[in-house]
């Protein structure tokens, strides 16, 4: 492929309801959207970096900077044999994985559209209904949380994940177990605990959670490896798994038993496929994470979720939990059985509605070969 033009936009979409995690409260997504063009065909990519450097060090502004100054100029007019090679091609640019992923995933979408194939096939998956779970933020009270959980269960979702932090952990989990029984339940701490909190985390064992996601610091594999043997609950790593090397290190150290894949966190589909292969070989269950994406990023996530290693329900839920309207139409919906259909290709099968994109765009810049 040879990308002849790239358009970068900063898009702002208010969230249907604020989302609170241990690192803060989000009420809107403001992100860079990438459109990569060749011969009049467009591939789309959504950058998952947030305005604030809280989940990761990248932000909307840093991703724009790195895309506009380094990544986009490096691909314009260049002969690219396959999008899977892009991540290696950008090795000289250290870090900035979310920025890299946004352009790399636009290139994968473009490649699939030029080949007239659904993205999932190009990635090595097969279209199948994707089991959907929900990620529920920190609430004012356990009662308010329980109400939210019940309404999500009524929609059919197959797994509930709640956000926890010190002081908001045992009580909400206990309230859910008391009212909702034996549902598939897990917690995500977003790195809010310290090694010295091992006792608090071990207390959660009695609730038979599917896993505890990223209890300790975002770059700390060693402490997770020390913590895991003291817990009955499997640790799942999110923030810590920045790519294939981190996955190998985490598994060698036995720092986790489950991995959450987010292509944005790892630099794109190329590194995600490598982590998928590692997990398959070592029999490590995977699930697909979410970053409050619009329908563009959500569709990418669904296509990747068709690979066989994704055996647990992901954080890939219906558009209406996040944005009304979504950038895409029709929106992503969940079926009563708690699954989501992969949009039919070519590519991701979804495109932003021009009027909605225009209304949500704060700034745009075109780059041509
Ligand atoms: O840790 O998985 C996370 C959202 C933003 C940043 C980090 C995370 C999340 C979620 C929401 O949990 C997942 C989603 O519904 O998209
Ligand atoms: Mg997480």
**Residue 292 and residue 29 in contact, taking contact as beta carbons nearer than 8 Å:** yes
Is ligand 1 within 6 A of the CB of residue 317? yes
pLDDT of residue 345: 86
Is ligand 1 within 6 A of the CB of residue 292? yes
pTM for this structure?
0.98
Closest among 43, 16, 253 to 137, alpha carbons compared: 16
d(CA 89, CA 299): 25
Is ligand 1 within 6 A of the CB of residue 267? no
Six token digits for residue 307: 């690979």
CB-neighbour burial class of residue 77 (10 A; exposed 0-12, middle 13-18, buried 19+)? exposed
**Residue 228 and residue 212 in contact, taking contact as beta carbons nearer than 8 Å:** no
Conformation bin of residue 324: beta by default, left when phi > 0, alpha when psi is -120 to 50: beta
Contacts of 271 (CB under 8 A, 6+ apart): 87, 97, 243, 244, 263
pLDDT digits (tens, 9 = 90+) for 62-100: 999 999 999 999 999 999 999 999 999 999 999 999 999
**What are the beta bridge partners of residue 186?**
161
Q: Which of 52, 292, 318 to mutate to test the pocket of ligand 1 (most atoms within 8 A of CB)?
A: 292
CA nearest ligand 1 atom 12, residue: 135
Q: Which ligand does the CA of 161 lie closest to?
A: 1
Query: How far, rounded to the nearest angstrom, does the alpha carbon of residue 229 sit from its chain's CA centroid?
Result: 27
Going residue by residue through the chain, which has 369 residues, state the pLDDT in tens, using 9 for 90 and above.
999 999 999 999 999 999 999 999 999 999 999 999 999 999 999 999 999 999 999 999 999 999 999 999 999 999 999 999 999 999 999 999 999 999 999 999 999 999 999 999 999 999 999 999 999 999 999 999 999 999 999 999 999 999 999 999 999 999 999 999 999 999 999 999 999 999 999 999 999 999 999 999 999 999 999 999 999 999 999 999 999 999 999 999 999 999 999 999 999 999 999 999 999 999 999 999 999 999 999 999 999 999 999 999 999 999 999 999 999 999 999 999 999 999 998 999 999 999 999 999 999 999 999
Is ligand 1 within 6 A of the CB of residue 291? yes
Pairing of strands 160-163, 361-368: unpaired
Output the CA 290–ligand 1 centroid distance in Å: 5
Q: Which of 290, 302, 304 to mutate to test the pocket of ligand 1 (most atoms within 8 A of CB)?
A: 290
Task: Report the nearest atom of ligand 1 relative to the CA of 292.
Answer: 16
Six token digits for residue 295: 């329908």
Output the CA 344–ligand 2 centroid distance in Å: 28
**Residue 38 and residue 6 in contact, taking contact as beta carbons nearer than 8 Å:** no
How many other C-beta atoms are found inside a 10 Å radius of the C-beta of residue 121? 16
Is ligand 1 within 6 A of the CB of residue 264? no
CA nearest ligand 1 atom 14, residue: 290
Closest among 9, 125, 112 to 348, alpha carbons compared: 112
Is ligand 1 within 6 A of the CB of residue 190? yes
CA nearest ligand 1 atom 4, residue: 291
Task: Report the nearest atom of ligand 1 relative to the CA of 163.
Answer: 12
Contacts of 314 (CB under 8 A, 6+ apart): 130, 131, 132, 133, 287, 288, 289, 290, 301, 305
Closest among 334, 97, 68, 64 to 239, alpha carbons compared: 97
d(CA 107, CA 278): 24
């Amino acid at each position: 492929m040879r990308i002849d033009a790239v358009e970068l936009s900063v898009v702002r979409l208010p969230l249907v309801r604020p989302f609170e995690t241990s690192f803060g409260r989000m009420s809107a997504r403001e992100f860079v959207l990438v459109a990569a063009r060749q011969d009049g065909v467009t591939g789309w990519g959504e950058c998952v970096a947030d305005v604030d450097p809280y989940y990761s060090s990248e932000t909307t502004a840093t991703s724009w900077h790195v895309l506009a100054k380094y990544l986009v100029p490096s691909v314009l007019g260049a002969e690219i044999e396959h999008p899977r090679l892009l991540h290696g091609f950008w090795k000289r640019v250290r870090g900035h994985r979310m920025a890299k992923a946004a352009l790399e995933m636009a290139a994968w979408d473009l490649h699939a559209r030029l080949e007239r194939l659904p993205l999932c096939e190009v990635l090595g998956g097969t279209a199948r209904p994707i089991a959907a779970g929900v990620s529920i933020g920190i609430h004012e009270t356990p009662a308010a949380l329980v109400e939210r959980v019940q309404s999500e269960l009524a929609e059919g979702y197959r797994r509930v994940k709640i956000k926890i932090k010190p002081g908001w952990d045992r009580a909400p989990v206990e309230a859910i177990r008391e009212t909702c029984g034996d549902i598939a339940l897990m917690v995500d701490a977003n790195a809010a605990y310290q090694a010295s909190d091992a006792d608090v985390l071990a207390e959660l064992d009695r609730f038979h959670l599917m896993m505890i996601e990223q209890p300790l610091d975002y770059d700390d594999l060693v402490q997770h490896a020390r913590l895991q043997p003291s817990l009955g609950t499997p640790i799942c790593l999110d923030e810590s798994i920045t790519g294939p090397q981190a996955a190998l290190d985490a598994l060698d150290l036995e720092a986790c038993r489950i991995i959450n894949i987010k292509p944005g966190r790892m630099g794109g589909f190329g590194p995600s496929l490598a982590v998928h292969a590692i997990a398959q070989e070592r029999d490590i269950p995977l699930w697909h994470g979410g970053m409050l994406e619009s329908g563009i990023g959500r569709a990418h996530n669904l296509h990747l979720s068709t690979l066989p290693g994704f055996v647990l329900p992901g954080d890939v839920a219906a558009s209406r939990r996040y944005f009304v309207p979504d950038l895409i139409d029709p929106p992503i919906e969940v079926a009563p059985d708690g699954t989501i259909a992969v949009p039919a290709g070519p590519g991701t099968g979804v495109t932003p509605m021009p009027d909605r994109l225009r209304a949500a765009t704060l700034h745009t810049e075109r780059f041509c070969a």
